[in-house]
Amino acid sequence: MTQVDLQMPSGGQAVASPHAHGGNSVRRTMLQVQVALVPATLFGFWLYGWPAFFLWAGTILSCIAWEALSLRLAGSARVRPTLLDGSAVLTGWLLAMTLPPWAPWWVALVGGFIAIVIGKQVFGGIGQNVFNPAMVARVALLVSFPVSLTQWVTPMPLSAVAGPDFVDGLRIFLSDLPMPDAISSASLLGHVKTELSRGVDMAAALGGAHAPASSWLGVRPGSLGESSAGLILVGGLFMIGTGLIGWHLPLAMLAGLAIPAAIASSVDPTRYLGAAQHLLSGAAMLGAFFIVTDYVTSPNTRSGQLLFAFCVGLLTWVIRTYGGYPEGMAFAVLLMNAMTPVIDRFFKPRILGRDRRGKALDLPDSERG
Amino acid sequence: MSDKYGEIIKGGLWEQNVVFSQMLALCPAMAVTTSGTNGLGMGLATTAVLTASNILVSLIRKTVSSQVRIPVFVVLIASLVTIVDMAMNAWLHELYKVLGLFIALIVVNCAILGRAESFAAKSGVLASAVDGLAMGFGFTGALTVIGLIREFLGAGTVFANASGLLGPSFAFLEMKLPGYGGALLMILPPGGFAVLGFLLAGKRILDSRSARGAQADSAGCSVASHAGA
């Protein structure tokens, strides 16, 4: 038997070193992330009714369809396995979480195209994308359709009498039924931005409906899956608990958002939103646990990840506070995605057998022979 | 002889297309193609300059020494651009206001100096004129297509204000999709890059298909000739 045969037996797996397969796969990872998303998503369905469900289903279907089309056009030999690995489903799911819950069907269709075709397949498919596909689609949709992407609805739980039933929900999703004006509303961040620009005091702007206590629970206008910071946190802790993601990225991102917010609001509480409101509103929680933790678009080393995520949080705070848009999570993530190769260049993992500067490690005398 | 001109025309319009094959002049191709009319106007202005500069460069190619040829070409092109710039300001003022600085910037359009250097300085007057026209129309076509796609997706219109460029009789070109708000991103710079990228991909697909077709044809021919022999 030749050496080649020894290293590559018929199964094509290396056996020379003591390798052990952990049983992990792309499919299993994607499935676990989806499990972590379930509580917040179900709560979103309950909160915003049937239109939210149809938007969620439509966005995922659109992502799968665009992925299938791209793979076909690219002449991929692995269309079925790639479709079944769940990465397109997860992209669609995350995108749907950030959309206004009553957005119409074409938002799902165009969003899927931008996420999968422009954000992912153009770069070469899974693992090759520079930018987080869901955030690319989110930003492109927001810039393209500013009106449709900022139409938040007041929560109207499934149990509520005035809420749309199954058929009406489908008609709202298909833009057959116009959205009633009376139930459209502003998100907390948008509301604060408008009030501040009108010269209203922060305390007055925060009064009434937008008490921070409701934020943990999430019964307030917002995106389909972002409203409930508490349930997102549950999903995130589940992922950390199962070892799917490390604590570095989420913690650094939340710190990057909370520290400047706390400093600014302690200096001038009439102009700056407090740390609690920043953390519990908008996409902060979703971003910290589900977006910046994307394996492909975040740095490789722990220290690089800390820097990356802290900068995402900091940029989010800067855009929210000084920018034109009330929410800046997606922009911050994309900007830092572009910086990831640079960060990886400066924070390289240690080479096995060498110290951080690349010098060979001193072996103990007993092993030197 | 006609074969030679056919090659030049085919090269300018498709195979050596300034934007889609040579990837030159991308600055105007991205910046002014927010509508089909703008793309058409910019393309036609560039075509005029390109054709005239090709003819002039070809005429003087034997009198100018190679050491000073680049400055001489630049002076020629700059004079032509100034003429086009003033003419458009006088007769196509509305379009001039939209295209503005980009007309003056035709002078630094690398496609024009590129054609002067790589073709007109080595070829006869007629061939250079044909090359300038073909390259110019290839450029115009590319800009118009990019502009039309961006305009349609971004604003839901087709050839808006075309009557301002081509005269009132061309008002029939102007169309508007009712009830379509438009995807603003397509009008913004990212939309230009995305459209160019998809058009390039489309051209590559067409080219590889026709190459495969030609291969199959030649294979078929050789088999037939062998059979005949």
Per-residue pLDDT tens for A221-271? 788 877 788 899 999 999 999 989 999 999 999 999 999 999 998 998 888
- The predicted model gives B8-29 an average pLDDT of 88
Residues of A numbered 298-327 whose beta carbons fall under 8 angstroms of chain B's beta carbons: which are they?
none
In a domain, B52, yes or no: yes
Cα B95 to chain centroid distance, Å, stands at: 18
Contact A145 B197 (CB under 8 A): no
- The predicted model gives A274-285 an average pLDDT of 85
Q: Does the structure show a pLDDT above 70 at A60?
A: yes
- The answer to whether A143 and A348 are in contact (CB under 8 A) is no
User: What number of other Cβ atoms are within 10 A of residue A209's Cβ?
Assistant: 13
Beta-bridge partner residues of A153 = A184
Q: Does the structure show a pLDDT above 60 at A5?
A: no
Who wins on pLDDT, B168 or A366? B168
Residues of chain A with Cβ-Cβ distance to B197 below 8 Å are 122
Determine the pLDDT at residue A206.
67
Among A289-303, B97-111, B132-146, where is mean pLDDT lowest? B97-111
Phi/psi at A153 (nearest 5 deg)?
-115, 150
- DSSP element (H, E) containing A184: strand A184-185
- Residue A300: closest CA among A352, A247, A343: A343
What is the dihedral sign for C-alpha A156, A159, A165, A166? positive
Residue B181: CB partners within 8 Å, gap ≥ 6?
A: A145, A147, B156
pLDDT classification of A187: cutoffs 50, 70, 90: confident
Cα B175 to chain centroid distance, Å, stands at: 24
- The answer to whether A183 and A172 are in contact (CB under 8 A) is no
- Residue A68: closest CA among A29, A112, A111: A112
What is d(CA A117, CA A125) in angstroms, rounded to the nearest whole number?
Answer: 9
Contact B184 A145 (CB under 8 A): yes
- Domain residues for the domain of B104 are 2-214
What is d(CA B63, CA A255) in angstroms, rounded to the nearest whole number?
Answer: 71
Q: Does the structure show a pLDDT above 50 at A1?
A: no
What is the dihedral sign for C-alpha B77, B79, B85, B90? negative
Helix (H, G, I), strand (E, B) or coil at A326: coil
Helix (H, G, I), strand (E, B) or coil at A245: coil
Model pLDDT for residues B118-172, shown as the tens digit of each residue: 999 999 999 999 999 999 999 999 999 999 999 999 988 888 877 777 777 777 7
Residue B178: CB partners within 8 Å, gap ≥ 6?
A: none
What is the dihedral sign for C-alpha B12, B16, B17, B23? negative
Whether A211 has its CB under 8 Å from any CB of chain B: the answer is no
- The predicted model gives B73-88 an average pLDDT of 92
User: In the A/B pair of chains, how many CB contacts fall below 8 A?
Assistant: 17
In a domain, B13, yes or no: yes
Residue A76: CB partners within 8 Å, gap ≥ 6?
A: A82, A125
Residues of chain A with Cβ-Cβ distance to B183 below 8 Å are 110, 144-145
Q: Does the structure show a pLDDT above 90 at A109?
A: yes
Interface test with A, best of B150, B153, B177, B184 (most A CBs within 10 A): B184
Residues of chain A with Cβ-Cβ distance to B186 below 8 Å are 144
Determine the pLDDT at residue B4.
86
DSSP letter at A187 equals -
Cα B73 to chain centroid distance, Å, stands at: 20
User: What number of other Cβ atoms are within 10 A of residue A339's Cβ?
Assistant: 14
Whether A147 has its CB under 8 Å from any CB of chain B: the answer is yes
What is d(CA A293, CA A278) in angstroms, rounded to the nearest whole number?
Answer: 19
> Could you identify the residue written with the tokens 């040579």?
B22
Domain tally, chain B: 1
Sketch the domain layout of chain A as residue ranges: 25-186, 228-347
Determine the pLDDT at residue B105.
86
Q: Is the ipTM of this complex over 0.85?
A: no
Who wins on pLDDT, A265 or B2? A265
Determine the pLDDT at residue B2.
67
